[in-house]
């Protein structure tokens, strides 16, 4: 893990807005016959660094990853990216054997970082759908979502009354 700021970490290929505190979450939830466990910690994956680096240049992934991290550090000098809003939109995500429940979020200025990368590398890059993984089938094992297309492909909206009271702590 690399600490990028008071609020941001680079861990397992992702830049996270870390240490998010939520309340109103039961320990488990059931979706489509599956008992899912509440995660031990919450974060918003802001950038799938490896995924974006592969979109930019699959032949230079390691170098591009390092550049993305440095660009993010510079970006934080102007845009703090430490604010977010829960959107009260819950989705059930299934990819291979993994199953999760996420809540969508709005992170002001996150889109601007992807625009900056697009300008730098002269590529059209997707902005990652900001979300917090709340529950997982396999303990604390989330599912990365690189684009709105992946969000549509791997997830569906769900209504779970037990999550109506989820909020920032």
Q: What is the pLDDT of residue 139?
A: 87
Q: Kindly report, residue by residue over 74-97, the tens digit of the pLDDT.
A: 999 999 999 999 999 999 999 999
59: CB partners within 8 A, 6+ apart: none
Asked if the model's pLDDT at residue 68 lies above 90, the reply is yes
45, β-bridge pairs = 16
Residues paired with residue 94 on neighbouring β-strands, in sequence order: 99
Question: What domain range is 67 assigned to?
Answer: 2-168
Measure the CA–CA gap between 46 and 126, rounded to whole angstroms: 12
Residue 164's pLDDT band, with cuts at 50, 70 and 90, is confident
Residues 6-54: tens digit of each pLDDT: 999 999 999 999 999 999 999 999 999 999 999 999 999 999 999 999 9
Q: What is the mean pLDDT of residues 91-107?
A: 97
Residue among 110, 138, 142 nearest 126 (CA): 110
Angle at alpha carbon of residue 19, lines to 116 and 101, rounded to 5°: 85
User: pTM above 0.85?
Assistant: yes
Through-space distance between the first and last CA atoms of the chain, rounded to whole angstroms: 25
**What total number of domains does the chain contain?**
1
Q: Which value, to the nearest 10 degrees, does the dihedral of the CA atoms of residues 75, 151, 164, 42 take? A: -50
**140 band by pLDDT with thresholds 50, 70 and 90:** confident
Give the pLDDT mean for 111-136.
Answer: 96
């Amino acid at each position: 893990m690399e600490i990028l700021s008071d609020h941001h970490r680079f861990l397992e290929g992702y830049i996270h807005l870390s240490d998010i505190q939520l309340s109103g979450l039961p320990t488990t939830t059931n979706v489509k016959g599956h008992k899912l466990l509440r995660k031990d910690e919450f974060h918003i994956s802001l950038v799938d660094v490896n995924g974006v680096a592969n979109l930019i240049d699959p032949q230079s992934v390691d170098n591009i990853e390092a550049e993305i991290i440095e660009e993010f550090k510079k970006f934080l000098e102007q845009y703090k990216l430490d604010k977010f809003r829960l959107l009260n939109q819950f989705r059930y995500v299934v990819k291979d054997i993994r199953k999760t429940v996420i809540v969508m979020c709005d992170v002001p200025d996150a889109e601007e970082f992807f625009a900056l990368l697009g300008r730098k590398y002269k590529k059209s890059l997707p902005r990652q759908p900001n979300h917090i993984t709340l529950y997982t089938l396999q303990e604390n094992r989330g599912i990365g979502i690189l684009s709105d297309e992946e969000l549509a492909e791997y997830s569906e909206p769900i209504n779970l009354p037990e999550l109506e009271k989820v909020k920032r702590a």
